[in-house]
Amino acid sequence: MQHKRVDTDIGFMCRFSCVTDMRDQIAMMLFRAFIILSSLVAIAACATTSTPSRGPEPGPALAVGTEPSLPPAYTLGSGDQLRIIVFGEENLSGEFFIDGAGMVSLPLVGEVPAAGKTVAAFRAELESRLSDGYLNDPRVSAEVLNYRPFYILGEVEESGEYPYTDGLTVMNAVARAGGFTYRANTRVVYLKRAETNAEVELPLTATLRVMPGDTIRIAERFF
């Protein structure tokens, strides 16, 4: 009877020991899981702090506008003077103006549209006209002899119409007009390209280009 009780106590102690070991293992596993999870959270927090999201980079900000791009090739317009040479045909060669309707009046072929065309396109048009029943294999040379003028208004000493020269800038144009008046706003300029009806407000920089037929307006500054 006593042996049976001892066996029972030993079995109970074994079971208790197994349960205790299992609890210890579970506790250790939970502790390790907690440590790993805490480490991951800490790493994520550090990464967020050290490399904050910046969003898209802002583009360059202009206070008043963006300089309109220059055309890849000069387009002819009313007021331009052309030198046209038809090789072997002296009577068809000479210097000609583009009139207010954008046409060039030439001997033999009459009026040829020029405004809005590049010099190369105008030359090709003229060769096509001459080859249509007038000349065999005509060869034409065309160049701009004098560009149409530009216009400058507002707070300059002598506003008006001025001849255009290649590479002209707004600052060059102001100098031709006698310089700024003491009331002039020297930070911005209002520019209307010849091909558009809209006047654009632009930062007045030393490199801002003027094209033939453009209208420049220098505004008054407010004290």
Confidence (pTM):
0.62
CATH 3.10.560.10 for domain 150-218: yes
User: Over the stretch 121-144, which tens digit does the pLDDT of each residue have?
Assistant: 999 999 999 999 899 999 999 999
Count Cβ atoms below 10 Å from residue 131 Cβ, excluding itself: 12
User: Over the stretch 43-102, which tens digit does the pLDDT of each residue have?
Assistant: 555 544 443 334 334 333 333 455 555 556 789 999 999 999 999 999 999 999 999 999
For residues 148 and 161, give the distance between their C-alpha atoms in angstroms, rounded to a whole number: 10
> Which DSSP letter does residue 153 get?
E
Q: Which of helix, strand or coil describes residue 162?
A: strand
Q: For the domain bounded by 81-146, which CATH number is listed?
A: 3.30.1950.10
Closest CA to 204 of 217, 188, 220, 183: 188
Domain residue spans of the chain = 81-146, 150-218
User: Over the stretch 57-67, which tens digit does the pLDDT of each residue have?
Assistant: 433 333 345 55
